[in-house]
Structures are given as C-alpha cells and as structure tokens.
Amino acid sequence: MRKEDSVFCANLGYRWGDVGPDSDVDGVLCMASAIDMASAVRRDLQAGDVSAVLFDPQVYMAGLPFEDSEKTCARLATYPWFPVEVADYESGEMTRRDWLGEVTSEMGAEWPPALPTTEEGTLALVRSAIDFQSDFGVTHVILPAPLISEPDSDLAEALLWVDAGLEASQDVKTPILATLAVSDVCLLRDGSEANPILSIAVDQLSARPELSGVYVVLEQSRGEFRGPIHRQVCRSLLTLSHVLGEECRLHVFVNFAAEFGLACLGAGAKSFASGYENKCRRLHLPDFVQRGGGGAFPRFVSLGCLCEYLPGTDLERIRDRRLLRLLQNDRTLAGAPLLDALQAGRSADNVVGWRESRNNVAEARRHYLQRLSAAARQLASMEAADRARIVYQLLQDAERDSAYLDSIFQGDPLWESGTHVGVWRAAYEDFLGSYDLA
C-alpha cells in the first residue's frame, strides 16, 4: 500500500504500546494532548509496519480550561507552538514526571495561551510545529490551526495559520495537510454547502494548490454520545469529504468522528482516525477533565449494528435470543475467541481478555482497531461509486439490525441503542441526494 492510500489510523493515547502490530492498523496518529514533548521525542512507536505516521499539534485545543484539565494543558504547553513559557526538560536533573509537575504548577496564569494574530507571530509557531513533525518522521505534515467555533466565522484566523504553514513548509517533501478544526456548533444549522463555514472552507482550501489534503477535526460540544449525533453535523463531514476529496481531489483525513469515519470514506475521504477510548474517538473538551473513579468496561464494537455491546451483559443475551448472526461480519482475530465461546454456549467471563471487568479493555481495543481497519481497507479497494453504495447499505442494514435488537431488549436495554445509526443513515441519505448519488 502506498503511503497516500492509508485509510484507517489509530489515535494514540499516552500509552503508545496500546497499539501494537496485532492491532493491524494502517497508520497511527500521535496527539500532542496525549503526551508531553520530552516523552514524545524519546518514545518509540510500537504499531509495527504502518504506512502512515502523523503527529497532530492540536493548536485547536488552546481553549482547553486549565482549572479542570491541568495535566493536558501542561502536556500541550511543552510544545513550542503553544506560546507559553515553560521550563526546559533537563534529563540529568529531574524525572519527566517532576518536570511536568513543575510545568503544571508554573503555567496556570499563562493558560489559555494568547494565539498570535499576525503573520509573523503565527509563522514562528507554525514553523516549530512543522520542524517537530519532520524530526518525528511523519509521513504527512499537519499544519496546525485554531478551532473555528463561531458560526459566522470568515475563517480568517484559521487561514492565517494555514498560509503561515504553507510558507514554512516550502521545503518539506512529505504531503501537507491543513487542519480544519470546526466545532459542531458551527454546523448544526446546515450541513450542506449552503453553510458559509463549509463553502468558505471548501473554496479557500481547494484554492491552495500546495496542499495535499485537509485534516478535518470535529469538536463535539456535547458529550451525550461517543461520536457525532446531529444530522447536520454528520452531513457536514460528508459534504467536506465529498467536495474536497472527490471533486477537488484532495486527501481528506477525518478525525474524531468515531465509526462515522467509515461513512466519510464512502463520501470521498481517504483516511480517518479513531480509537477505543473516548479521548481517542471524539474531541470533547470535558473528556479531559481530571476525574477519579473506576475504569471502563470492555465493549465489543459491531459494525453490523454500528453499536457497542458489553461482552457478557449484552452479547450473552443476544446469543440466547439466537441473534449472534447479526454480528457475524464483526469477527476479528481479537474478537473471534469471544464469538466462538458465546456460540458454544460459554460465558464471556471465561474468555481471556473479554471478562467484563473494569479496565480489561486490551482485547476490546484490539478488536475495535482490527474491525475498523478491515472495513476501511475493504472500502478503499472499491471504486468511488461502489464505495458510496456499500456504505449506504452498511448504514441501512445497521439501522435495521440495531433497531431490531433495541426492540427485542427494550425492557432491559443493551449498553447502546441504535438511535445514532438512524441519524447517520439519514445524514448519508441527505448527502447522496444532494449530489445525485442515490
């Protein structure tokens, strides 16, 4: 596979080892919010032979509130493209943990950072982000940009960063992606090209021939679901994927849309990234609030139903109703032992790695990544028209099957209902209709 063709990338959290070669992903995407700079430059990726490595500078996270999320703010502040004065890390004098503690205690007054509004000020920051990525060995450089959060924005601030990035990357040989980080509040009204945010973005970004592509980041203002749940917001991602990807032939890379990233591939995006944990799957700033409490239970993702189910509580009941066939296409190396055990009448608790206990998520994570990788690869091998059709079919089938499961278990609902699937299907239908692709 050529680098340009990579389709699914795993978003890496703090523990890069969570995504190993057996995750079978095409690429990995490291995030500045997940790891401080001193650690990032010393740590090795462990994902094996991946065709894409990206590092997201995440300037769009500059608005993260320090009071609730000081650790994440401190990690971000260690990178030179955030205009915050922090102490340098001296490996001989302190541990990284102590250093980060020092950074955290000293930077509070400086956060949120005041992002520059001049070409000169922006250029210096962008240059540092590009240099870092080049040293890191990325296959695609991501030009950073701040979050677009005003529905009537003219995108001037974000474009200032893009143009500074283009100026700073003139000698860069790897493909260049411009960040388009948009809050869903800008997309709620209209997900079609009639939305000025979308029409300006499409017109402006496609008029910069130096760009290889656009890195689309969706910020979720509300956290009721682990992915986009509003019809117009979903449609917006499809509009961007289609117009920029299919019509303007740019590499569209969608991040933080969870499994809806597959629908974006159907619309014309070339790549998407997601991950098992919420912070890797969606961009919802309250997810970064430091909390105590227990860890997550393992969840089995089904692309057949586009839902996640608990391995014991849900899947055993589904098995008992002889409905495991609805998940037959969700078989992966990591998930097969669970499905086989259930089929044989055994409990999920007897399957190594799938016991329904807190923090026991390694197999569930592997399954998630393997399943999305396989689905994305399958789509990538198709012609555009077939891809669009197959995704529509996937959404229709998932809506039907998840709704059926919901109806069966309405007295004692499953972990996740398929309500969102109907929204995704409807958004996709809107999209197909607006481009005469139905």
Partner 1 sequence: MAFDPPLTQDEIEAAVGGLRAIRSLGEGGQGCVWLAEASNGNPAALKVYARKDNVQIRVEREVEALGDLRCDSIVELVDWGRTQIRGEDCVYTLTGYIDGPNLHELLGAGQLAESRVVRVCQRIAQAIDAMWALRIVHRDVKPENIVVARDGGVFLIDLGIAKHLDKTTLTLYGRVWGTPGYMSPEQMAGRPGLTLRSDLFSLGIVAYEAVSGSHPFGGRQDLIGRVDPPDVRDRCGVSARVGSSIHWLLKARPVDRPSSGAALIAALPG
In 227-270, DSSP assigns E strands to: 251-255
Binding pattern for the stretch 142-171 against partner 1, x by CB under 8 A and - elsewhere:
------------xxx--x---x--------
Given the structure tokens 């004692």, which residue do they identify? Answer: 412
Site for partner 1 in 85-144 (CB under 8 A): none
- Closest to partner 1 by CB, 92 vs 209, is 209
C-alpha distances out from residue 384 to 6, 247, 266, 429, 432, Å: 16, 11, 7, 16, 13
Q: Which stretch binds partner 1 (CB under 8 A): 194-202, 233-241, 273-281, 342-350?
A: 194-202
CB contact at 8 A, 128 and 80: yes
- Measure the CA–CA gap between 191 and 427, rounded to whole angstroms: 9
The residue written with tokens 């329904």 in the block is 356
Q: Nearest CA to 32 among 84, 89, 73? A: 73
How deeply is 137 buried, as exposed, middle or buried, from its count of CB atoms within 10 A (0-12, 13-18, 19+)? Answer: exposed
Q: What is the smallest separation between the CB atom of 152 and partner 1, expressed in angstroms?
A: 9
User: Of 98, 150, 247, 386, which one interacts with partner 1 (CB under 8 A)?
Assistant: 247
From residue 226, give the alpha-carbon distance in Å to each of 54, 59, 229: 23, 22, 8
Two structure tokens written together for 370: 């393997």
Nearer to partner 1, 193 or 316 (CB): 193
Closest separation between CB of residue 393 and partner 1, Å? 28
Only segment of 66-74, 120-128, 204-212, 260-268 that touches partner 1 (CB under 8 A)? 204-212
Give min distance, CB of 296 to partner 1, in A.
41
Q: Which is nearer to partner 1, 161 or 288 (CB)?
A: 161
Taking CB under 8 A as the criterion, the residue among 193, 219, 356, 430 binding partner 1 is 193
* Angle subtended at Cα 383 by Cα 381 and Cα 389, rounded to the nearest 5 degrees: 105
| CB-based burial label for 136 (10 Å; 0-12, 13-18, 19+) | middle
To the nearest whole angstrom, how small is the minimum distance from the Cβ of residue 5 to partner 1? 23
- Among 67-75, 101-109, 241-249, 354-362, which window interacts with partner 1 (CB under 8 A)? 241-249
What's the closest the beta carbon of residue 196 comes to partner 1, in angstroms? 6
Kindly tell me which residue out of 125, 248, 273, 326 binds partner 1, with binding defined by CB under 8 A.
Answer: 248
Binding residue count for partner 1, defined by CB under 8 A: 18
Pick the binder of partner 1 from 22, 85, 135, 203 (CB under 8 A): 203
For residue 193, what are its two tokens? 């090209």
Cβ closer to partner 1: 130 or 211? 211
**Cβ(414)–Cβ(309) below 8 Å:** yes
Q: Which residues bind partner 1 (CB under 8 A)?
A: 154-156, 159, 163, 193, 196, 199-200, 202-204, 206-207, 209, 243, 247-248
